[in-house]
Amino acid sequence: MSGLGELDRPGTPESPGAWDERSEEWIAEGAEAREPGRVAEDASAGARGGREGREKGEASARARAGDDARGGAAAPARRQPSAPRRTAADPVKALMHRHRELCERAVDPLEIAAGLEAHGVTDRTAARFRHRDVFSLAEEMFARAARDEEAVPTPAAAPALQARTGWALLTLLPGALGTATAAGLRLTHGQARAFVAVAGVLAVALALRAALSRGPLSASDRTASGPAPHAPSTRIWTYWLLAYAALGDGLLRAAVAGGPDALPTGAADGPWPLATAPVLALAWACAPAAWCAHLFAVRARRRLAASRGLEEFADSVRPLLLGTFALHLCALAALLALCATVLGENAAYAQTVTLGALLLLARMLTTHGFTHAPAIVLTAAATAEATALVTVFAGRLPGCGFLATPVETLVGAWGPGSVPALVCGAAALTLLVHAARTLTRASAHATADRPC
- Rule CB under 8 A: which residues touch another protein? 17-21, 45-46, 49-51, 53-54, 56-57, 105, 107-111, 114-115, 117-120, 122-124, 133, 135, 139, 142-143, 149, 152-153, 155-156, 224-226, 229, 304-305, 307-310, 313, 441-447, 449-452
Query: Closest distance between another protein and the C-beta of residue 191, in Å?
Result: 47
Q: Which residues of 79-104 are buried (b: 16+ CB within 10 A; e: fewer)?
A: beeeeeeeeeebbbebbbeebeebbe
Nearest to 172 by CA among 219, 214, 232: 214
Q: Using CA atoms of 83, 86, 87, 90 in order, give the dihedral in degrees to the nearest 10.
A: 170
Question: 185 and 197 in contact (C-beta within 8 Å)?
Answer: yes
Query: Closest distance between another protein and the C-beta of residue 45, in Å?
Result: 6
Query: Closest distance between another protein and the C-beta of residue 167, in Å?
Result: 25
CA distances from 450 to 18, 107, 158, 446, 447 (A): 44, 20, 15, 11, 8
Closest CB to another protein among 103 and 173?
103
Query: Closest distance between another protein and the C-beta of residue 128, in Å?
Result: 10
Query: Closest distance between another protein and the C-beta of residue 215, in Å?
Result: 23
Closest CB to another protein among 156 and 163?
156
Provide φ and ψ at 82, rounded to 5°.
-75, -25
Q: How many CB atoms lie within 10 A of CB 347?
A: 20
Closest CB to another protein among 357 and 365?
365
Closest CB to another protein among 229 and 412?
229
Closest CB to another protein among 2 and 12?
2
CA distance 248 to 424: 13
Closest CB to another protein among 19 and 349?
19
Q: Is the peptide bond before 174 cis (omega within 30 degrees of 0)?
A: no
User: In a 10 Å sphere around its CB, with 0-12 CB exposed, 13-18 middle and 19+ buried, how is residue 286 labelled?
Assistant: buried
Query: Closest distance between another protein and the C-beta of residue 157, in Å?
Result: 13
Question: 129 and 91 in contact (C-beta within 8 Å)?
Answer: yes
Closest CB to another protein among 106 and 336?
106
Closest CB to another protein among 73 and 156?
156
Query: Closest distance between another protein and the C-beta of residue 313, in Å?
Result: 5
Query: Closest distance between another protein and the C-beta of residue 384, in Å?
Result: 25
Query: Closest distance between another protein and the C-beta of residue 224, in Å?
Result: 7
Query: Closest distance between another protein and the C-beta of residue 46, in Å?
Result: 6
Residue 349: CB partners within 8 Å, gap ≥ 6? 333, 336
Closest CB to another protein among 111 and 408?
111
Residue 406 sits at the vertex; the CA angle it makes with 400 and 411, to the nearest 5 degrees, is 120
Closest CB to another protein among 305 and 338?
305
Closest CB to another protein among 84 and 227?
227
Question: 365 and 373 in contact (C-beta within 8 Å)?
Answer: yes
Query: Closest distance between another protein and the C-beta of residue 134, in Å?
Result: 8
Residue 31: CB partners within 8 Å, gap ≥ 6? 38
Give the per-residue SS3 of 126-189: HHHCCCCCHHHHHHHHHHHCCCCCCCCCCCCCCCCCCCHHHHHHHHHHHHHHHHHHHHHHHHCC
CA distance 154 to 156: 6
